[in-house]
């Protein structure tokens, strides 16, 4: 290193227990020593363990400070050396916040330290908490503004629940740490972002919020945490898009690595220290946090274009140019982890919902990525395994299509009834980049609060989803296909062009976040109009868990 060493991130908190919490941070040097100093006058220290991220890379689409290697623009994915440091601070007392600071020693006594933050053990039941509900950051334009307004509006939160899609391409290092746009994941959540939004010639720079230095974050896997076949194409975007089912991989690549030739969550799992289940590891788990039992599921599938023009592998058909090359097929919107009745994850969930920890919790919340109810586009087709139909003429393949039987939707058919029976009060999810909520006849609430950085619109009013016609299934063009009607915000709904209150927010200018106050059992949603940088944040909806 030719200059003073730098931290790639501030520290952030993971996996709190009744007496401890993990402190994690990243550097671009292995270093000789990494420590956390904590307690009164920071007199106590604990040494961190260090590991190197194994698959993190940059490529042609990376937006990094130095976008060249050997004087050339990246022509292919190139490994980037990044080290992860983790220390466990022990001996904590619930309810007592403790100051801490990290220090990384590069070599020859060159070192770099963070600012001083505070940490705490996991809160006891009965402790009132403010929990940020967020998802789908993906370096989108309004994300830094959103996180900045969280801190300005409610102050320091006690926890963060992140319903998937943290970034776009999980093996691209800069999306996590230092993308040139100023909107990478960690800078936004640590108040180190520099994202510019310009309206009417007025430029405003947003820095995000100092959040995860103080509050542990619990995440789930969305479709953007999953990479495809490893090192099989010339760019990370293509590699990300190149997922195929495990069963197909076994046929095509017999004797080779099944995971490397289908899909993987290696980088996501290397970056985060999360609770684990015996069956699913950190891919699905349950954790107690204050008065809440949070159950996190791995419910996501491969997003593919709904377009029927035959140019690209899509939801409903394969690209025409690849019809005779099954190795290049996408196999529709494949589900990454089974959740259907009888699957390992379903059986684990069923057991968790009967556990003492779950039953005794005041609030029972389930978080996953894919929506059970939404006005967004991504709920169609049904969440089920694609049924492949190959059309032939004189033995020659003319089309490869996919149907998704609605009555086989695993979330609606199998998971939701299980949650209803277990008296779950809230199901929290993302994926469609909007805000809307629903409530079942039994009083179970469904909340999607993913209009954080941008939106892709709602299938409401004049707007319709792009769906096929002439297929066996009926693919719903508008509204929520799974029966429940959206709830109009309780306090200050936005008005449509017809002057009527809208039951959703889908905007590229208005960003939304939600806060769960466990002291009162209320979930409040707030909006901020980035076109008016001096305007107030507006609380537009609030509801209470039974």
* pLDDT tens digits along 288-336: 999 999 999 999 999 999 999 999 999 999 999 999 999 999 999 999 9
Return the closest-CA partner of residue 115 out of 182, 190, 189.
190
Do residues 308 and 317 touch, judged by C-beta distance below 8 A?
yes
Q: Where are the alpha helices (DSSP H) in 389-493?
A: 410, 416-421
Q: Which residue has the tokens 């006058």?
A: 41
pTM for the whole structure: 0.97
Question: Right CATH number for 129-226+265-544 from 3.40.50.970, 3.30.70.60, 3.60.21.10, 1.10.3720.10?
Answer: 3.60.21.10
* pLDDT tens digits along 349-386: 999 999 999 999 999 999 999 999 999 999 999 999 99
Instruction: Report the distance separating Cα 342 and Cα 335, nearest Å.
Output: 15
Task: For residues 6-25, give the mean pLDDT.
Answer: 98
**pLDDT for 68:** 56
Strand partners, 72: 69
DSSP 360: H
Q: Is the peptide bond before 287 cis (omega within 30 degrees of 0)?
A: no
**Domain spans, the chain:** 1-118, 129-226+265-544
CATH code of 1-118, in short, is 2.60.40.10
Higher pLDDT, 428 or 232: 428
* pLDDT tens digits along 121-175: 999 999 999 999 999 999 999 999 999 999 999 999 999 999 999 999 999 999 9
| Residue ranges with strand state E in 368-501 | 387-393, 396-403, 426-429, 435-439, 445-449
Return the closest-CA partner of residue 287 out of 355, 199, 383.
355
Instruction: Report the distance separating Cα 180 and Cα 78, nearest Å.
Output: 17
Task: Say if residue 1's pLDDT is above 50.
Answer: no
Percent of the chain with pLDDT over 90: 94
**pLDDT for 424:** 98
* pLDDT tens digits along 519-538: 999 999 999 999 999 999 99
Instruction: Report the distance separating Cα 174 and Cα 182, nearest Å.
Output: 10
Return the closest-CA partner of residue 361 out of 155, 14, 129.
129
């Amino acid at each position: 290193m030719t200059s003073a060493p730098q931290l790639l991130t501030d520290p952030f908190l993971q996996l709190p227990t009744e007496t401890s919490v993990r402190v994690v941070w990243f550097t671009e040097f292995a270093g000789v020593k990494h420590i956390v100093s904590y307690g009164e006058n920071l007199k106590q220290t604990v040494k961190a363990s260090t590991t190197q991220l194994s698959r993190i890379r940059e490529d042609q689409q990376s937006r990094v400070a130095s976008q060249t290697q050997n004087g050339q623009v990246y022509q292919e994915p190139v490994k980037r050396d990044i080290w992860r440091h983790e220390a466990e601070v022990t001996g904590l007392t619930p309810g007592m916040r403790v100051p801490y600071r990290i220090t990384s020693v590069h070599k020859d006594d060159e070192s770099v330290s963070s600012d001083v933050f505070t940490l705490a053990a996991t809160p006891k039941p009965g402790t009132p908490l403010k929990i940020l509900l967020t998802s789908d950051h993906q370096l989108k334009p309004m994300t830094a503004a959103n996180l900045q307004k969280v801190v300005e509006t409610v102050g320091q939160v006690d926890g963060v629940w992140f319903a998937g899609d943290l970034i776009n391409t999980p093996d691209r290092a800069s999306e996590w740490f230092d993308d040139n746009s100023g909107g990478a994941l960690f800078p936004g959540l640590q108040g180190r972002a520099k994202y510019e939004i310009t309206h009417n010639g007025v430029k405003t720079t947003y820095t995000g919020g100092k959040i995860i230095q103080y509050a542990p974050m619990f995440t789930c896997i969305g479709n953007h945490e999953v990479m495809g076949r490893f090192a099989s194409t010339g760019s990370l975007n293509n590699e990300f898009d190149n997922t195929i089912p495990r069963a197909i991989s076994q046929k095509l690549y017999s004797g080779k690595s099944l995971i490397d030739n289908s899909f993987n969550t290696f980088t996501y799992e290397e970056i985060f220290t999360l609770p684990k289940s015996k069956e699913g590891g950190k891919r699905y788990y349950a954790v107690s946090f204050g008065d809440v039992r949070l159950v996190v599921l791995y419910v996501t599938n491969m997003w593919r274009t709904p377009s029927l023009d035959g140019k690209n592998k899509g939801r409903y058909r394969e690209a025409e140019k690849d019809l005779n090359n099954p190795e290049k097929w996408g196999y529709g919107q494949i589900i990454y982890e089974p959740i259907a009745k009888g699957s390992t994850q379903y059986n684990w969930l069923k057991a968790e919902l009967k556990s003492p920890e779950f039953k005794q919790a005041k609030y029972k919340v389930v978080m996953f990525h894919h929506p059970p109810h939404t006005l967004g586009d991504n709920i169609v087709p049904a969440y089920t395994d694609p049924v492949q139909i190959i059309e032939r003429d004189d033995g020659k393949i003319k089309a490869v299509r996919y149907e998704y039987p609605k009555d086989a939707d695993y979330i609606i058919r199998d998971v939701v009834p299980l949650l209803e029976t277990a008296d779950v009060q809230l199901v929290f999810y993302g994926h469609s980049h909007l805000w809307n909520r629903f409530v079942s006849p039994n009083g179970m609430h469904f909340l999607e609060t993913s209009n954080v950085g941008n939106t892709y619109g709602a299938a409401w009013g004049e707007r319709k989803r792009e769906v096929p016609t002439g297929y066996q299934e009926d693919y719903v063009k508008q509204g929520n296909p799974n029966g429940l009607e959206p709830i109009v915000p309780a306090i200050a709904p936005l008005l449509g062009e017809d002057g009527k209150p809208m039951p959703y927010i889908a905007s590229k200018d208005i960003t939304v976040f939600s806060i769960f106050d466990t002291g009162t059992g209320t979930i409040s949603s707030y909006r901020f109009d980035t076109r008016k940088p001096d305007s107030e944040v507006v609380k537009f909806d609030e509801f209470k868990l039974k």
